[in-house]
Structure 1
Amino acid sequence: MGDQQGILNSQSEAVVEDPLKMNDVETSKNRSLSQVLSVFVAGVALFSDGYNIQIAGYMIPVLTKIYGPSVVTTSMKTRLSNSILIGDIVGMILFGFCIDRFGRRLGIMATTFLLVFGIILATAAHGVTPTGLLWMMVVGRGVAGVGAGGEYTVCTAQALEAADEDKYVQQHRGFLVAFSTNVAITSGFVGSSIASVVILAIAHDEARDIVWRCAFGIGIILPLTIFIFRMRLVNSTQYTKHAIHRNLPYKLAIKRYWKPLLGCCGAWFLYDFIVYPFTLLVPEVVSGFSSSNGLLETTGWSALVNAFSLPGAFFGGFLIDRIGRRQSCALGFLIVAVLAFIIGGAMGPLRAHFAAFVLMYGLFHSFLSVGPGNCTFLLASESFPTPIRGHFFGVAAGVGKAGAALGTQVFPQILARYASALEGQQAIFLIGASLAVAGAAVVWLLVPDRERQLECEDALFRAYLEENGWDVSDMGVRHGRVGERDEKHENGP
């Protein structure tokens, strides 16, 4: 009887345990699906950001034809281009701090709201005078920029941590994160050019008020479409285990990570200083080859030039996991420098062969994506542990966007200072080449090449904090609530 009772008890225990195991498996599958969805949604969100940033470059010529150069002055063009970049800087730094303290999910919700609200303001812009209308547009794009900048930080951190959840995925983390960041943003740039061509074709190549309103308004579709998915996203495992919600050890963190922070800031600053003005100036540079080009033709050629960035981003994504992040970034910078020196030095002959110029300019954009375009996101997120990833990534990305804002301010002024378009274009390409060489040097000398599991750096950071007398007992989240311990990780990682 005793043996039978023992068997019955064992069977009873098995019956109790099996559902628990099944629940664990089901929970694991659900979480894996959630993380894959996180990466996908991050990519869609950054596609939207790329579209909304770039669309101004195609609409400024339209606005100039509608309201005249006396209203759409060089200064106003710069404001229209820079307003979203200034908002980016604010959003990147602000939400970099917020997502480390309050979670990735809360940041996602807030950034979506700001982006949508800003797009609505810009699309519906009105004013008593044309100048007042443009200022309203500047304000709206600035608000959208805060949301877009926040999404850079939130989406990159979420995509990186989600891609680290599975051992197989970790081997391809570089490509996966590159795909959901730079490939997505570059696709948004290309999407904005295609949308501009289609809208202008429908408007019969005429500059009308409805053209720029439609172009801006399209940017609201994707953020609203993915909003329901974003509401279902959960914080990553890395964040749940290692988050620090109060009394962040800033001094210790800066002491340990000042060098990679400086390197990531410098590399991103130089990259954005090059890529944004050269992307926004594509219509102006292309139109300089012929005074007879209409809006549709100029926009079409510009779309072709910017489209070269997309295959470069894909190729660079594969290259990252094979030769390394730092190596890919430095190589891309150096090839860009060579191409820019060639274009600048041979601008005279190239003006007689427009197709050759388009090819060279397209390759210039392509290798910007191959190297720093893909790698700045990875380097600025992998170089730092989870508890401070949002902070330091936000700072690096914000400094990068400061470079973009400065570049879009400086390069048009350089073009305007020269009597001929040829001399101005030669100057900006030669300056761009010099900046690319500096970017390669910064990356190689200051930025580490970390490709290991994120948990490794998190464990090293925790050990570093303990060695310096910092209390690590408050690290982690319980049941997804801010400021509470996770009972599963009571004894650390």
Structure 2
Amino acid sequence: MSGEYPVTNNAASSTEEKNFQKIIVPTVPDKLEDTTESRWERSWPVIAGGAGLFSDGYLNNIIGSVNTVLRILYPVAYSKSDAVKNVPSIAFAGTVVGQLLFGVISDHYSRKWSLMASTLVLIIFAALSAGSYGANGSVPGLFTTLTIYRFFLGVGIGGEYPAGSVAAAESAGELKRGHRNRWFIMFTNVQINLGFVLAAFVPMVVVLVFTENHLRTAWRVMLGLGVLPPLSLLYLRMKLREPENFNRERMHKYPVKLIARFYWWRLFIVSLAWFAYDFSSYAFSIYSSVWLRIVLSDSAPLWKAFGWNTVVNFFNLPGACLGAFISDWIGPRYALSISVFLQGIVGFIMAGCYEFLATAKNVGAFVVLYGIFISLGEIGPGNNIGLIAAMTSATAVRGQYYGIAAAIGKVGAFVGTYAFPIIQARAPNPVRAGQDPFFVASTLCMMSAVVVRFLIPHIGQDTIALEDARFRRYLEENGYDTSKMGVSMKQKLQQLEQSQLQEPATSAES
């Protein structure tokens, strides 16, 4: 990592960034926020870019309820087959493919059209999933079809990360200083959490409407409603323009070795933090299932179980919303490291007191501690890991950088779903089976806090502009011709002609 530039120092401070800004920013074009556009004109690209992650939250989480319904409908054909594992998990694989694929597309071709492509994939395969059907009414064929559609749906979900989040981060650079992080978070992570809540609430309502006598219709309606979120964004995304940052900094030829030499260490650190968080998140859900078993009796109706699942998912929202402002106030690096450290402490307390908390008498205290624990996770890594991934690389390679980090995070989640059940199975007694996963997860929280605090550079409101300037300087010093970066004159003329054609010819009529 090119340690010669002050901002690459792992312990870089805001003072160092200001000094670096004095050297480099004069070579950067006019500041993006210096524009005559209204606040809405600058804000809606952030909304259109990031809000697609609501679909990620809904479509990923809804499959848990669908899985529950399918187990009831097909207690042998589904529960005793590979489908019981494949249907809920195959979207993980598709998401990783989508994150890597759309990371390349968004950098090499277009932020806008990669967004449009991921949106269309979501709409098509959400609809197909709801209409899954086996040849000649075959039940195994139904499960196979649903699995295939869920894989391609995962590709669309994965595309939202490098395409949507990156576009949102770059568009946020055109907003007022001091407000950029909260706008990014409100329309990325908060949207994911809203999707989680709706994905828990919708099954409760659907089961109440259709009753448990019509579950074959209910699960299809649950999946089919997933078409609406991406469909509602389609028009906004059609009206998007390429972010100004992308127009200025895009590359037409990629010096892969130079890029890898410059960013490999930082990408490794960001990916490690994302992997640890997603890996641990599986353990976080274990405790919710414990107190839910205490609250719910074995004879509780299905809608009530879905209702309590809504409560569990709602715990994410307060922390995510509050954390959006904290990220602007103290910066994403400190917001993440402090919150995840505190989360680790609460996790150790919960694990140490597990034997007493996991009782009907103390379930109230259990739920309160769990809510604090989950909120801290959202204030920290939930909100900021994507923001850090979006802001610690140059615009020219941001899609690929973000896509790789996000993909490694998803791999962490996938590994966690297999590792933690093994940890529980090898525990010597039921109490340890509840404690051990949280001891592991809380240790990883502490590790993530140290990694982010000391190995991630300072991230300020102007980090995107500074990082672009730093990357250009590095390329120039290594013989790369940066004059060819950005939109070419021919492309600028084409964009100008297109915008003029869209204007009404009022002058000619007058």
TM-score (norm 2): 0.83
Asked if 1 retains the 8 angstrom alpha-carbon contact of 2:70 and 2:78, the reply is no
Q: Displacement, 1:410? A: 2.7
1:251 aligns with 2:245: no
Instruction: Determine the structure 2 residue equivalent to 1:143.
Output: 152
Q: Displacement, 1:312? A: 0.3
Instruction: Determine the structure 2 residue equivalent to 1:471.
Output: 481
**Tell me, what secondary structure is at the counterpart of 1:175?**
helix
Return closer, same or farther for 1:30/1:437 CA change in 2, 3 Å cut-off. same
**Tell me, what secondary structure is at the counterpart of 1:451?**
coil
User: Which residue identity lines up with residue 59 of structure 1 in the other structure?
Assistant: V
- Unaligned 5+ segments in structure 1 are 1-26, 487-493
Instruction: Determine the structure 1 residue equivalent to 2:455.
Output: 446
Question: How far apart, in 1, do the equivalents of 2:495 and 2:110 lie?
Answer: 14
Number of aligned positions between the proteins: 458
Asked if 1 retains the 8 angstrom alpha-carbon contact of 2:49 and 2:237, the reply is no
Instruction: Determine the structure 2 residue equivalent to 1:456.
Output: 466
Question: How far apart, in 1, do the equivalents of 2:82 and 2:271 lie?
Answer: 27
Identity, in percent, stands at: 33
CA offset digits 1:192-251 (Å, max 9, x no partner)? 111122112223356711221111111110111210111110001110011002x21222
Instruction: Determine the structure 1 residue equivalent to 2:217.
Output: 210
Question: How far apart, in 1, do the equivalents of 2:39 and 2:169 lie?
Answer: 14
Asked if 1 retains the 8 angstrom alpha-carbon contact of 2:55 and 2:229, the reply is yes
Question: How far apart, in 2, do the equivalents of 1:427 and 1:69 lie?
Answer: 32
Question: How far apart, in 2, do the equivalents of 1:210 and 1:114 lie?
Answer: 24
Instruction: Determine the structure 1 residue equivalent to 2:27.
Output: none
Q: Displacement, 1:423? A: 4.3
Asked if 1 retains the 8 angstrom alpha-carbon contact of 2:123 and 2:230, the reply is yes
User: Which residue of 337, 341, 348 maps to 1:341?
Assistant: 348
Return closer, same or farther for 1:123/1:337 CA change in 2, 3 Å cut-off. same
**Tell me, what secondary structure is at the counterpart of 2:52?**
helix
Instruction: Determine the structure 1 residue equivalent to 2:501.
Output: none
CA offset digits 1:432-485 (Å, max 9, x no partner)? 212212222221232212214222211111111111101112201147949999
Asked if 2 retains the 8 angstrom alpha-carbon contact of 1:344 and 1:426, the reply is yes
Instruction: Determine the structure 2 residue equivalent to 1:83.
Output: 90
Q: Displacement, 1:125? A: 1.5
Instruction: Determine the structure 2 residue equivalent to 1:356.
Output: 365
Question: How far apart, in 2, do the equivalents of 1:482 and 1:73 lie?
Answer: 59
1:395 aligns with 2:404: yes
Instruction: Determine the structure 1 residue equivalent to 2:120.
Output: 113
User: Which residue of 184, 191, 195 maps to 2:198?
Assistant: 191
- Unaligned 5+ segments in structure 2 are 1-33, 497-510
1:287 aligns with 2:290: no
Q: Displacement, 1:419? A: 8.7
Return closer, same or farther for 1:215/1:370 CA change in 2, 3 Å cut-off. same
Q: Displacement, 1:164? A: 0.7
Instruction: Determine the structure 2 residue equivalent to 1:377.
Output: 386
Q: Displacement, 1:364? A: 2.0
Runs of 4+ residues deviating >6 angstroms: 482-486
User: Which residue identity lines up with residue 264 of structure 1 in the other structure?
Assistant: V
Question: How far apart, in 1, do the equivalents of 2:73 and 2:386 lie?
Answer: 38
User: Which residue identity lines up with residue 221 of structure 1 in the other structure?
Assistant: L
User: Which residue of 401, 414, 417 maps to 1:405?
Assistant: 414
User: Which residue of 75, 79, 98 maps to 1:72?
Assistant: 79
Q: Displacement, 1:411? A: 2.8
Q: Displacement, 1:360? A: 2.1
**Tell me, what secondary structure is at the counterpart of 1:384?**
coil
1:170 aligns with 2:177: yes
User: Which residue identity lines up with residue 158 of structure 1 in the other structure?
Assistant: A
TM-score (norm 1): 0.86
**Tell me, what secondary structure is at the counterpart of 2:188?**
helix
Q: Displacement, 1:31? A: 8.3
User: Which residue identity lines up with residue 91 of structure 1 in the other structure?
Assistant: G
Question: How far apart, in 1, do the equivalents of 2:422 and 2:212 lie?
Answer: 28
